[in-house]
Amino acid sequence: MGRVLVATAVAVERDAVARAFGALPTGSDGEALGAHGGGGAAARSRALDVRVIAAGVGPALAAASTASALTAAVLQGDPYDLVVSAGIGGGFQPEASVGSLVVADEIVAADLGAETGDGFVSVTELGFGTVRHHPPEDLVRLVGDAVGARTGAVLTVSTVTGTAERARALRGRHPTALAEAMEGFGVAEAAAAHGVPVLEIRAISNPVGPRDRAAWRIPDALAALTEGFGKLVPVLESWNRHDG
């Protein structure tokens, strides 16, 4: 493995990941910091070159910012070997407890489709494209083992779930879902367009369901994100996308 691009949503997530690599962010806290050639954080280990960016909130901005960073790297003659969508997110209880880590074996656009009289129909079922990306199975397994994370589907939503009813509906459509966030599918779309493998790692900051800010544990989730990425260096150094 040579170069890794880590795309978070916001600066505090970027900084949490960067701390794991001993990197200090540069520049100001912009919405898409690092995605357009400035700011971000970079770190090197023996065989790893990592750049961490705050790509913005939501799948559209995350996709645009990640694609911009990937394109810039290609034009500079130094493309990335892996893209990681990372940050905090909501966890489906009881499988993904607050403070735990989740690694996606599927990255799913959970609300991309149409509502019908018979229920929700995905874009894939409508015949207009895909709603899921699959990270490399061997890498998911290695990362999950290294950080002690559960593996399952991570849902990308444009509207964060705030009711028990919607949480049940999402879990009904996606029984293997462990977490939801807002950027993974956008990052995965950009990676796929460049032919680069993608991974998604989420630290659980709150339960998916009724919106209860008193139940949020954002500092704990950010600490878990830093700790988890600190365990990833040997895995990412040794993983070869062309193995197998």
Three-state SS for 218-243 is HHHHHHHHHHHHHCCHHHHHHCCCCC
Is residue 221 assigned to a domain? Answer: yes
The C-alpha angle with vertex 158 and arms to 156 and 160, in degrees rounded to 5, equals 85
Tokens matching residue 150 = 């559960």
- Looking at per-residue confidence, does 61 or 31 come out higher? 61
Say how many residues make up the chain: 244
Q: Count structural domains, the chain.
A: 1
Average pLDDT over the chain, rounded to whole?
Answer: 87
d(C-alpha 188, C-alpha 60), whole Å: 11
Cα–Cα separations (whole angstroms), residue 230 to 16, 17, 68, 111, 140: 10, 8, 26, 32, 16
Cα–Cα separations (whole angstroms), residue 186 to 116, 134, 165, 209: 25, 13, 25, 23
pLDDT higher than threshold 80 for residue 46: no
Is residue 11 assigned to a domain? Answer: yes
Using pLDDT thresholds of 50, 70 and 90, give the confidence band for residue 240: confident
pLDDT digits (tens, 9 = 90+) for 53-99: 999 999 999 999 999 999 999 999 999 999 999 999 999 999 999 99
Which phi and psi angles does 113 have, rounded to 5°? 170, -145
Percent above pLDDT 70 for the chain: 88
Q: Please report, for the domain that includes residue 124, its CATH number.
A: 3.40.50.1580
Is residue 244 assigned to a domain? Answer: no
pLDDT at 37: 35
Is residue 94 assigned to a domain? Answer: yes
Using pLDDT thresholds of 50, 70 and 90, give the confidence band for residue 32: very low
Give whichever of 14-23, 36-45, 201-210 has the largest mean pLDDT.
201-210
Average pLDDT over residues 26-55: 58
pLDDT at 242: 66
pLDDT higher than threshold 70 for residue 40: no
Is residue 65 assigned to a domain? Answer: yes
pLDDT digits (tens, 9 = 90+) for 181-192: 999 999 999 999
Percent above pLDDT 90 for the chain: 68
Between strands 82-91 and 198-207, the pairing is parallel
Range of the domain at 163: 3-238
Using pLDDT thresholds of 50, 70 and 90, give the confidence band for residue 5: very high
Q: Residue 86, SS3?
A: strand
pLDDT higher than threshold 80 for residue 34: no
* In contact, 101 and 202? CB cutoff 8 Å: yes
Is residue 139 assigned to a domain? Answer: yes
Is residue 86 assigned to a domain? Answer: yes
pLDDT digits (tens, 9 = 90+) for 123-181: 888 788 888 999 999 999 999 999 999 999 999 999 999 999 999 999 989 999 999 99
Average pLDDT over residues 20-37: 48
Average pLDDT over residues 20-42: 49
d(C-alpha 29, C-alpha 225), whole Å: 19
pLDDT higher than threshold 70 for residue 30: no
Is residue 119 assigned to a domain? Answer: yes
